[in-house]
Amino acid sequence: MFQRLSTDTVNWIIIIGVILFVVEIAFFHGGMLIPAMFFGVLVYFGWKKYHRLWGKILFWIGTISLLFAVLNLMAVRFLLVVSILLFLWDYLKKRNETMYIQPKPIHDETSQSSLIKLTPIFKHQLFKDQETPDEAYRWTDINIHSAFGDQVIDLSQTFLPDDTAIISIRHLVGNIEVYVPYEVEVSIHHSSVFGRVHIFDQHHIRLVNQTLSYETEGYQTGNLRVKIITSIFSGDIEVKRI
């Protein structure tokens, strides 16, 4: 369904949704946004303590309440209505289309470039802690966004490429830990609304809506390099040698 939409159409849907979101905050005192954030915090702490009875109760109460709070946001209701209309439009359009069967052209396999599909180390997860394997693993650049949970990356269990390895994480609530071997040079660009930062011997106990950038002395000339780009709404980041 969404494959048929042009990029401009998708952009306009997103823009209208953002406008409705801003209107709800500006003229309706946040609407259900603040309760949704509160219930999201309940879900996070309930998931962290899900092995206990009170954690399960907190998780499911927060989940159900968060669902109703999100569905009451004007932007979400707009997106639901648009999705239903697009589904009906796509269904009616498919019914009016004539099916054509065409022979597939034969391509010379030798003229095609070979592509290898790589399995990402981390996946996009809303409510889950993630960490690299305890045993040796194949390195692929990390580029994820997540909502709640902790992310732990141990670079001592993999072979980094000769060029620059990339770690890019956009996170809502939770902590990020990166363990770097001594022979690897590091560049770090971190932004946070609330949180603490511990990067080697540099410590920032209270980071409020700030951006920090560091790099080791040999980063520009080193062979083994890792570039870490992180963005957190609320949480701590720790980068240390191992």
* pLDDT per position as a tens digit, 169-198: 998 888 899 999 999 999 999 998 888 899
Residue spans of the domains in the chain: they are 2-96, 130-241
Q: For the residues 120-142, what does the mean pLDDT come to?
A: 84
pLDDT value of position 97: 55
Over the range 132-171, which residues count as b (16 or more CB within 10 Å of their CB) and which as e? Answer: beeeeeebeebebebbbbbbebbbebbebeeeebebebeb
* pLDDT per position as a tens digit, 21-47: 778 777 776 667 778 888 888 888 888
pLDDT value of position 212: 93
The one-letter amino acid code at 82 reads V
pTM metric for this prediction? 0.59
Helices (H), the chain: 7-27, 33-48, 53-71, 74-96
Both tokens of residue 69? 């709070």
Closest to 22 in 3D by CA, of 37, 11, 33: 33
The one-letter amino acid code at 214 reads Y
pLDDT value of position 173: 82
Q: Which of 28-42, 114-128, 197-211 ranks highest by mean pLDDT?
A: 197-211
Residue 239 — very low, low, confident or very high, per pLDDT cuts 50/70/90?
very high
pLDDT value of position 95: 63
pLDDT value of position 108: 54
The one-letter amino acid code at 72 reads N
Instruction: Determine the angle formed by the axes of helices 33-48 and 53-71, rounding to 10 degrees.
Output: 160
* pLDDT per position as a tens digit, 51-106: 888 888 888 888 888 888 888 877 788 878 887 887 777 667 666 655 554 555 55
User: In Å, what is the CA distance from 166 to each residue of 72, 80, 88, 90, 186?
Assistant: 38, 36, 42, 39, 10
For residues 209 and 198, what is the distance between their CA atoms, to the nearest angstrom? 16
pLDDT value of position 7: 61
